[in-house]
């Protein structure tokens, strides 16, 4: 009997020329229970379907839209989906979440995942519903933003479809292009370029069936309880000001990356602060489908229009580039939305280029920190892959390899992915998390800043406690991103694994407990690492750029924040040990056996254990 | 230079007899805490190395801040020199210099501690000692751990006076002008109250009667809603008191940063004049 919340199959679609053919891939109970859904199941699918060493932009590279057992239940924040592929930015696994109705409609096509491979002859859209997939040529969508494309396909195919689309940056294979649905991006790692390389502008899904739930009454009761808790103090920050509330707080604790990480406080922070903008420009709040938090805060733009602003896009396009005028930052965010660009990678790459220009390493005298017009010009060039933009469209690591002259030392990236808005020198657990995470520099899969900012340990004195915190946040993220529940809910759970296990049991009918979920989390983290090792990643990739290891920061208190190579090394050693890996970050053979990955070449990735 | 403070240890000599006070100074109440707790925690928030409390044999101590280590003097009645030797020896390679003080300095300010410790940039300095208003302050001074053999030798010879130690090593003295030449000391401790100790009940009563230090409080995020934005000045001796003064409860959803540095929700954390406390949501990120 099929477990509740699942259909027990993924739809694997090959787009070829002007048609799509598909084959179902059976997902047995053991695989679903081992990987849950979302990011976890997506990782398993990539292991199964991505040829080793595949070019992420090649036709045979798979791109998976993965749903989860909770999608379609009344549980708050559960309407989310993962997009998983080999990243053109990092060459490793990348997984990103987006949310809302695409998740519900996509799952109710009758599939736990939809995997896209191949390459269409012309720009097309892929439609999936109960009748299977079909490819429709859509050259008229070329050059449109994702939002425009969504509107156009709604007009063409009717309102019953939900759409995930790419912008011009995806069409042009910018390595950090996004896929978005209803204005929310599966943002990190260049998933938009992967879809663009398939000549697919958008994937449309339409509900065709229902999914059974093991114990609907218990799920409904749990949903009511969770909804009530979601209005409590743990989510107040998100409801009242949104993630942008981080900006001024991070500035106060010297962890707001500024001018390409040359400082951790920003003089213009107050102009970009949620507290300020909320009063002056706040116009609305919005939420994803099935969400009771409503974290999205919408602000008015100068000259008309509105813009949703989050901490990460304001940090990356504001302080990181030295820009303090909110209208410049709003405009840059809007431009990223239109082009379909990951704001973090775009801001990080441009900030690196600004420093290169100021040092005379690249010939772009117009590109200066603090210049909002230059920021917009750079974004347009990236979106068009023109001039300097063609270089910056590759991300900061590849661009630094071209520019040379030591510029890789201050390229703000790990494994090729640009850093989010957390200064690693003043957040040592986060520094470790950024260094070791499978996706590259990342705050959503490794949120160990939480421990740094909790006072549980000295955030400037990284050690074993920081490694333990990093393992803990990675494990929690692995479960939340696979079940899937929004991380903004995380504070409402007093005993997370126990409570999540109870939710999962009610939906699926499995008798899941906290211990099993802990093992599941570790399995998912390991599966990601093993995928990366298969693709050539080694322990040498688990590091931070030299800037963070060689240049200390001085805090307002007079204390020096220094993250040396030795300190990072010792934290990485502790992290590997806590994970049960060897000194080279390789798992033992026994660990690999639990992955249910038939195609893993164990002798290639296993350590001595 | 700042690295000296980050690497330094702190030692509180808690074992005095308190004979003039008539009761144990360590346990004297201090704005919701005790004198010993405050002094120890003050050292802990200032230096980067370990913080030790040296107690007399069998001495009962009040609660101490997390992380503070207690070391018992092996011998009773040998005065501060014995405590000094015990404390420095207990560091056992975990630091080369330490700020050493007595329990009874309720107005001790981090700026003065940092001022003292920075003088160890002079590699020849064995002791850095404030001399306030002409009085040497050996129990609010910096010492190198390398002095342990010398102190033990002097103790072995029956010489229990700190003055004898100073004859045999290089002491760098800092007078009022030199202490106040430090911008932070001049600004936050212009009267050098850091060096005021309380020996008798009247001293204690007078110290308690002083206004608590002025603290600037800032609130961020959800804590700044409903017209609560912007800095506000309150008087508070501890983080808990500062939170209470602005109506904040230090529960699991709230943390504080003192001067943009330590993140904590320790309501006993001592505050001093010039501190800025930022209260923020612990649910940061996203």
Question: According to the CATH classification, is domain B211-281 in 3.40.50.850?
Answer: no
Which is it for strands B29-30 and A162-165: parallel, antiparallel or unpaired? unpaired
| Cα separations in angstroms, B223 against A8, A264, A451, B258, B275 | 46, 23, 20, 16, 19
Check residue A541 and give its pLDDT. Answer: 98
Check residue A599 and give its pLDDT. Answer: 53
How far apart, in whole angstroms, are the C-alpha atoms of residue A354 and residue A369? 6
Give yes or no for a contact between A127 and A136, defined as CB atoms under 8 angstroms apart.
yes
Confidence of residue B1 (pLDDT cuts 50, 70, 90): very low
Strands (E), B33-177: 33-34, 51-55, 69-72, 97-102, 127-132, 135-136, 140-144, 171-175
- Look over chain B and give the mean of its residue pLDDT values, rounded to a whole number: 91
A244, A257, A450, A455: which to substitute to probe chain B, counting the most B Cβ within 10 Å? A455
Contact yes or no for A246 and B251 at CB 8 A: no
Check residue A234 and give its pLDDT. Answer: 84
Angle between helices A428-436 and A565-579 (to 10 degrees): 70
Residue B285 has pLDDT above 80, yes or no: no
Question: What's the whole-number mean pLDDT along residues B237-243?
Answer: 96
Q: Nearest to residue B8, comparing CAs of B165, B118, B107, B135?
A: B118
How far apart, in whole angstroms, are the C-alpha atoms of residue A4 and residue A215? 8
Q: Nearest to residue A126, comparing CAs of A39, A41, A14?
A: A14
Contact yes or no for B260 and A253 at CB 8 A: yes
On chain A, the residues whose CB falls within 8 A of the CB of B225 are: 240-241
Judging by beta carbons within 10 Å of its beta carbon (0-12, 13-18, 19+), is residue B7 exposed, middle or buried?
middle
Question: What's the whole-number mean pLDDT along residues B183-204?
Answer: 95
Tell me the shortest Cα–Cα distance from B221 to chain A, in angstroms.
5
Whole-number percent of chain B with pLDDT over 70:
97
On chain B, the residues whose CB falls within 8 A of the CB of A253 are: 257, 260-261, 263, 278, 280
Write out residues in chain A with pLDDT < 70, as ranges. 598-609
Check residue B2 and give its pLDDT. Answer: 44
Tokens for A564? 């040396």
Of B264, B278, B286, the CB nearest to A252: B278
On chain A, the residues whose CB falls within 8 A of the CB of B251 are: 233
All structural domains of chain A, each given as residue ranges with its CATH number in brackets, are 9-205 (3.60.9.10), 230-418 (1.10.569.10), 424-605 (1.10.599.10)
Each residue's pLDDT tens digit, A165-182: 999 999 999 999 999 999
**B182 contact A CB<8A:** no
Check residue A609 and give its pLDDT. Answer: 41
Helix, strand or coil for residue B235? Answer: strand
B43: which residues sit within 8 A by CB, 6+ positions away?
B10, B11, B12, B51, B99, B101, B113
Check residue B84 and give its pLDDT. Answer: 95
On chain B, the residues whose CB falls within 8 A of the CB of A235 are: 283
Q: Tell me which residue has tokens 């978005």.
A: A180
Whole-number percent of chain B with pLDDT over 90:
73
CA-based nearest residue in chain B for residue A447: B285
Give yes or no for a contact between A345 and A188, defined as CB atoms under 8 angstroms apart.
yes
Question: According to the CATH classification, is domain B2-204 in 3.90.550.10?
Answer: yes
Give yes or no for a contact between A320 and A351, defined as CB atoms under 8 angstroms apart.
yes
**B220 contact A CB<8A:** yes
Report DSSP state, residue B163: H
A184, A187, A246, A447: which to substitute to probe chain B, counting the most B Cβ within 10 Å? A246
**B228 contact A CB<8A:** no
A454, A488, A490, A563: which to substitute to probe chain B, counting the most B Cβ within 10 Å? A454
A184, A237, A563: which to substitute to probe chain B, counting the most B Cβ within 10 Å? A237
Check residue B255 and give its pLDDT. Answer: 92
If you write DSSP's letter for every residue of A345-387 in order, what string do you get? Answer: HHHHHHHHHHHHHHHTSSS-TT--TT-HHHHHHHHHHHHHT-T
Confidence of residue B146 (pLDDT cuts 50, 70, 90): very high
- A·B CB contacts under 8 A: 120
How far apart, in whole angstroms, are the C-alpha atoms of residue B45 and residue B51? 10
Strands (E), A458-594: 553-554, 560-561
Domain ranges for chain B, please list them. Answer: 2-204, 211-281
Tokens for A396? 């900061």
Tell me the shortest Cα–Cα distance from A285 to chain B, in angstroms.
15
Contact yes or no for A241 and B222 at CB 8 A: yes
Check residue A499 and give its pLDDT. Answer: 97
CA B252 to chain centre: 27
Check residue B77 and give its pLDDT. Answer: 76
Contact yes or no for B281 and A556 at CB 8 A: no
The 10 Å Cβ neighbour count of residue B115 is 26
């Amino acid at each position: 009997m099929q477990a509740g919340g699942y259909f027990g199959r993924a739809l694997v679609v090959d787009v070829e020329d002007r048609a799509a053919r598909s084959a179902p891939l059976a997902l047995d109970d053991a695989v679903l229970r081992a990987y849950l859904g979302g990011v976890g199941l997506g990782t398993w699918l990539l292991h199964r379907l991505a040829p080793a060493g595949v070019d992420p932009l090649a036709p045979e590279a798979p791109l998976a839209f993965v749903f989860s057992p909770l999608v379609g239940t009344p549980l708050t924040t559960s309407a989310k989906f993962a997009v998983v592929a080999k990243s053109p930015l990092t060459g490793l696994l990348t997984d990103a979440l987006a949310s809302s109705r695409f998740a519900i409609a996509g799952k109710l096509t009758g599939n736990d995942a939809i995997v896209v491979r191949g390459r269409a002859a012309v720009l097309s859209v892929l439609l999936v519903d109960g009748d299977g997939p079909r490819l429709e040529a859509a050259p008229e969508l070329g050059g449109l933003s994702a939002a425009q494309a969504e509107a156009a396909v709604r007009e063409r195919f009717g309102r019953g479809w939900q759409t995930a689309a790419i912008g011009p940056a995806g069409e042009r294979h910018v390595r950090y292009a996004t896929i978005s649905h209803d204005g929310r991006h599966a943002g990190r790692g260049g998933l938009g370029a992967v879809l663009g390389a398939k000549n697919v502008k958008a994937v449309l899904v339409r509900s065709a069936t229902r999914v059974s739930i093991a114990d609907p009454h218990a799920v409904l009761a749990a949903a009511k309880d969770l909804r009530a808790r979601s209005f409590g103090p743990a989510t107040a920050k998100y409801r009242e000001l949104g993630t942008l509330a981080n900006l001024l707080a991070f500035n106060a604790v010297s962890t707001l990356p500024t001018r390409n990480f040359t400082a951790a406080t920003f003089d213009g922070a107050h102009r970009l602060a949620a507290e300020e903008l909320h009063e002056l420009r706040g116009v609305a709040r919005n939420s994803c489908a099935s969400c009771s938090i409503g974290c999205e805060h919408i602000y008015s733009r100068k000259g008309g229009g509105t813009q949703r602003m989050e901490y990460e896009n304001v940090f990356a396009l504001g302080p990181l580039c030295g820009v303090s005028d909110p209208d410049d930052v709003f405009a840059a965010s809007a431009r990223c939305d239109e082009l379909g660009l990951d704001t973090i990678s775009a801001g990080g790459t441009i900030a690196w280029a600004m420093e290169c220009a100021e040092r005379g390493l690249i010939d772009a005298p117009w590109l200066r920190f603090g210049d909002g017009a230059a920021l917009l010009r750079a974004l347009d060039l990236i979106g068009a892959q023109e001039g300097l933009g063609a270089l910056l469209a590759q991300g900061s690591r590849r661009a630094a390899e071209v520019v040379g002259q030591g510029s890789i030392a201050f390229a703000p990236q790990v494994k090729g992915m640009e850093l989010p808005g957390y200064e690693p020198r003043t957040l040592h657990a986060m520094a470790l998390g950024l260094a070791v995470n499978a996706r590259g520099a990342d705050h959503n899969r490794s949120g160990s800043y939480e421990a740094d900012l909790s006072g549980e340990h000295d955030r400037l004195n990284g050690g074993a406690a920081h490694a333990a915190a990093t393992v803990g946040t990675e494990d929690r993220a692995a479960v939340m991103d696979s079940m899937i529940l929004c991380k903004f809910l995380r504070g409402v759970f007093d005993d997370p694994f126990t409570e999540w296990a109870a939710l999962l049991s009610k939906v699926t009918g499995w008798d899941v407990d906290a211990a099993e979920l802990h093992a599941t989390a570790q399995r998912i983290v390991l599966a990601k690492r093993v995928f990366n090792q298969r693709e050539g990643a080694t322990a040498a990739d688990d590091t931070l750029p030299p800037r963070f290891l060689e240049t200390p920061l001085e805090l307002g208190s007079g204390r020096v924040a220094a993250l040396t190579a030795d300190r990072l090394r010792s934290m990485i050693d502790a992290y590997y040990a806590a994970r049960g890996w060897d000194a080279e970050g390789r798992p033992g053979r026994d660990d690999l056996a639990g992955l249910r990955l038939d195609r893993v070449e164990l002798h290639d990735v296993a350590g001595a254990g | 230079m700042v690295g000296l403070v980050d690497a330094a240890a702190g030692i509180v000599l808690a074992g005095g007899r308190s004979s003039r006070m008539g009761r144990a100074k360590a346990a004297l109440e201090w704005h919701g805490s005790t004198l010993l707790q405050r002094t120890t925690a003050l050292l802990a928030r200032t230096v980067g190395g370990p913080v030790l409390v040296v107690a007399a044999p069998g001495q009962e101590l009040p609660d101490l801040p997390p992380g503070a280590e207690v070391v018992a003097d092996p011998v009773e009645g040998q005065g501060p020199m014995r405590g000094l030797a015990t404390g420095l020896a207990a560091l056992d390679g975990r630091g080369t210099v330490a700020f050493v003080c007595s329990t009874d300095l309720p107005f001790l300010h981090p700026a003065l501690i940092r001022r003292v410790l920075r003088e160890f940039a002079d590699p020849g300095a064995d002791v850095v000692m404030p001399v306030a208003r002409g009085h040497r302050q050996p129990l609010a001074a910096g010492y190198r751990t390398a002095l342990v053999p010398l102190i033990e030798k002097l103790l072995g010879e029956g010489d229990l006076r700190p003055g004898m130690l100073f004859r045999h090593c290089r002491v760098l003295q800092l007078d009022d002008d030199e202490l106040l030449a430090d911008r932070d000391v001049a600004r936050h401790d212009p009267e050098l109250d850091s060096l005021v100790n309380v020996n008798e009940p009247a001293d204690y009563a007078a110290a308690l009667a002083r206004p608590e230090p002025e603290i600037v409080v800032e609130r961020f995020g959800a804590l700044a809603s409903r017209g609560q934005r912007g800095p506000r000045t309150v008087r508070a001796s501890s983080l808990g008191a500062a939170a209470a003064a602005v109506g904040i409860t230090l529960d699991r959803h709230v943390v504080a940063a003192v001067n943009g540095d330590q993140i904590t929700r320790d309501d006993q954390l001592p505050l001093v004049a010039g501190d800025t406390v930022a209260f923020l949501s612990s649910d940061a990120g996203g």
